[in-house]
Amino acid sequence: MPRARQIIAFGGGGFSMEAGNALLDHYVLEATGRPKPKVCFLPTASGDADHYVVRFYRAFPAARCEPSHVSLFRRDCGVAGDLRASLLDQDLIYVGGGSVVSLLGVWRAHGLDAVLREAWQAGVVLCGLSAGSLCWFAEGVSAFHGEPCRVGGLGLLPGSNAVHYGPGRRERFHAELQAGMADGHGCEDGAALHFVGTDLARVICSRPQAQAYAVRCREGMVVEEPCPAHYLGATAAPAVQAA
């Protein structure tokens, strides 16, 4: 049976931001539906920083999954054989944070933009934080290179996204919506948007007060509404209908 298309986009969180809090990382593993999923880390947005790769392997031990990574800035990229075949064979592809502009440029140069779309369509779960969240949407707001600014993404998900949502980014996101950017979501650190297909199926969070918002512009006025969120530390999250 074909697997559903799933993307889990963190506002911020996971192993690289929440030491001692593995709730989001456990959630994305469970979303694969596999007892021991194959998980590939793409640290492209950080320039394939060595320390980031080391932290990934500590957070995703071989006892829990089959971890691997792809380093596009290294001669030894971390994957033996055909890169496309390796990514399509994964259950989960986890994209790290950093510069979304650099990430997309490198992916496109290596043809990974097309491969990741193919993987998503084949039912490989895609997830990530910060740049690894913005990249899946049509547009977003990034502040990696200074002041928050509008950036384009891969467009697997329609609409827009703002990560690390708070002062500065919120105001710029509202301004871009008023300037014509598509409606979307603002996602705080510790909150994540779980899409099945292109529909938002659930908002989950690793911190009790973390929040995501549906944000839209109507007749020049921005309307921001909090999304109901399930705190992962309270009880087990009910299963997402991913058929």
Q: What pLDDT was estimated at residue 3?
A: 86
Domains of the chain (ranges; CATH) run: 6-231 (3.40.50.880)
Question: Which positions are catalytic?
Answer: 130, 164
Res. 74 pLDDT band, cuts 50 70 90 = confident
44 has a pLDDT exceeding 50: yes
Partners of 95 in the β-ladder: 42, 128
Q: What is the overall mean pLDDT for the chain?
A: 92
240 has a pLDDT exceeding 70: no
Tens-place pLDDT, residues 116-160:
999 999 999 999 999 999 999 999 998 877 788 889 999 999 999
Q: Is 101 exposed, middle or buried (0-12, 13-18, 19+ CB in 10 A)?
A: middle
Partners of 165 in the β-ladder: none
Please give the single-letter amino acid code of residue 155: G
Res. 236 pLDDT band, cuts 50 70 90 = low
Q: What is the mean pLDDT of residues 67-83?
A: 82
Q: What is the pTM of this model?
A: 0.93
CB within 8 A of 45, min separation 6: which ones? 95, 96, 97, 98, 99, 100, 102, 103, 130, 131, 132
Q: What pLDDT was estimated at residue 243?
A: 45
Q: What pLDDT was estimated at residue 125?
A: 98
